[in-house]
Structure 1
Amino acid sequence: MRATPGGVCSCAGRTAAAAGAGCRGCALRFVAERLRDAGYNSAVCRSKWPRTPEIPSGEHSYVDVVVPTRSGKAVRVVIELGFRGEFEMARGGAEYRALVASLPEVFVGRPEKLRAVIRVMCDAARQCARDNGMHMAPWRKQRYMEAKWPGTPERVAPGGEAVAVASPEKPPSRFRASILTLDFGGRTAVEVV
């Protein structure tokens, strides 16, 4: 955690002790800055998703690092602080709690591995809820959890402005449209008289 000379958290003027060794935002910025200082292309990413009938809206921040490989391709690495806490349930069964305890506190890995862990953990949470006769909360569902770490992150540059960055593992998708979505110079495909 970076503390100013007076031991103050840089985001809200709180002392580090009062903030519990700092806040999550400061911790994310600290990790991204140290990685940049070490020569890595890292940034804090923010994901934000709208409400749908299946999941509530939300937002999440994490660190994204783009690492060049020997072949010249760039590989994305996600760093999630407090990863284990993302899956904790208040009334989870003993098996589920043991599975959560096996997760690392800080996840560092490729997005494919992250999606695989999310799939396993969400399946286990669903089974635990079913076994205990509990309702599966929308924020425990796989679609909600996957929305936290999207394929195309919005990176926050050191100055604070958000910059969308294309995901290195997927080529840009081609534009596709049907004849029904095209605009013919202000005319529609069918004119109603």
Structure 2
Amino acid sequence: MAQAMAGKPLIIRWDCDKIIRFSDKPTSFADDFLGFLEEQDETPENCIDSIDYIEDDNSSSVEENRKFWETQNQLLQATLYRTASLETTIRQATKAAVKEIKLVGLHCRCQKAAAGECRNCLQREISLRLQAEGYNSAICRSKWKSSQEIPSGEHTYLEVMEKLSSKKGEVRVIIELNFRGEFEMARASEEYNQLINRLPEIFVGKEERLKALIKILCSAGKKCMKEKKMHLGPWRKHKYMQSKWLGTCERTTVLAPLPVGFSDRPAKPKASMLTYDLLETLPVLQRTAVKVL
């Protein structure tokens, strides 16, 4: 081999990453590499252990990722299925209102040319139908300022305020008509998409339930972007999503439209000349009797 060909002693020291040769004759990188291939059958056990350790590291990372997505799916499913009777009845009323609107068609009152359904008018019609069912429904508009973490923005959604009892007070139920679309991402991983596909298109639930869902979905989005080595947009962050539904909002109660030809102005008194009594309005005159001769 190399020792016999050179005719001089050659010392080889094994390392896990490289081979260092000591000789009184300079050698090239190619000679060193070929020597490594010839002697690879004699590789010390500590190098093999090092390689096995790296493989185990990768496999453990894959196992951790699998457990993470499995846990997120279980948490999401448990949060969605654990629902109260009030949420169920409002959800059924909301779905019935949407179905009715789709059958009769949506008449846009804002007179804005937009492709597809008008979100504002759809929210208005659903709110009116919920009011007809006896629910205290309103349209909420949230608006927040920019900070170092998130940009400014605004969002509209529906809410129902219901008073259960004097002790518990009012319960706030949030209605989001495009809940699944709020968390969809263009270049998401397969695991994230499977999680999002479990979400309902229309969300109806209490603040506590929505808060738990936001935490689960934002954590999944952050993990998805980290796996794909991509930057997470600030509009995908947990604080931004919370600002949409759980921040300060302006509540507007929708009023039913007035019938055609009807005015809410007080009616003016009407009088007819045929029945108008002038004697009742004229001042009383003094009358003097005159004797006729």
* TM-score for the superposition, normalised by structure 1: 0.73
User: Mind listing any 5+ residue stretches in structure 2 that lack a counterpart?
Assistant: 1-97, 256-293
Give per-residue Cα distances to partners, 1:39-64, cap 9 Å, x unaligned: 11110000000011110000000001
Alpha carbons 1:41, 1:65 under 8 Å: kept: yes
Whole-Å separation in 2 of the counterparts to 1:26 and 1:145? 23
Residues 131-150 of structure 1 aligned to structure 2 (within 5 Å): 131-150=227-246
Correspondence for 1:56 among 129, 151, 160: 151
Alpha carbons 1:45, 1:154 under 8 Å: kept: yes
Q: Over aligned residues, Cα RMSD in angstroms?
A: 2.2
2:254 is aligned to 158
Cα offset, 1:10, TM superposition: 1.5
Cα offset, 1:158, TM superposition: 2.3
Matched AA of 1:85:
G
Matched AA of 2:111:
A
Whole-Å separation in 2 of the counterparts to 1:148 and 1:8? 27
Question: Using a 3 Å threshold, how does the CA distance of structure 1 residues 137 and 7 change in structure 2: closer, same or farther?
Answer: closer
* TM-score for the superposition, normalised by structure 2: 0.49
Give per-residue Cα distances to partners, 1:88-124, cap 9 Å, x unaligned: 0000000100000000000000011001000000000
2:268 is aligned to none
Cα offset, 1:6, TM superposition: 10
1:128 is aligned to 224
Alpha carbons 2:142, 2:248 under 8 Å: kept: no
Correspondence for 2:188 among 73, 92, 98: 92
Residues 36-51 of structure 1 aligned to structure 2 (within 5 Å): 36-51=131-146
Alpha carbons 2:142, 2:247 under 8 Å: kept: no
Alpha carbons 1:32, 1:63 under 8 Å: kept: yes
Alpha carbons 1:43, 1:63 under 8 Å: kept: yes
1:11 is aligned to 110
Alpha carbons 1:77, 1:110 under 8 Å: kept: yes
Cα offset, 1:152, TM superposition: 4.4
Cα offset, 1:74, TM superposition: 1.2
1:23 is aligned to 118
Whole-Å separation in 1 of the counterparts to 2:174 and 2:203? 7
Could you list the runs of 4 or more consecutive aligned residues of structure 1 that deviate by over 6 angstroms after TM superposition?
none
1:186 is aligned to none
User: Mind listing any 5+ residue stretches in structure 1 that lack a counterpart?
Assistant: 160-193
Give per-residue Cα distances to partners, 1:21-40, cap 9 Å, x unaligned: x2111111111111111111
Cα offset, 1:157, TM superposition: 2.7
1:188 is aligned to none
Q: Find the structure with the greater CA-based Rg.
A: 2
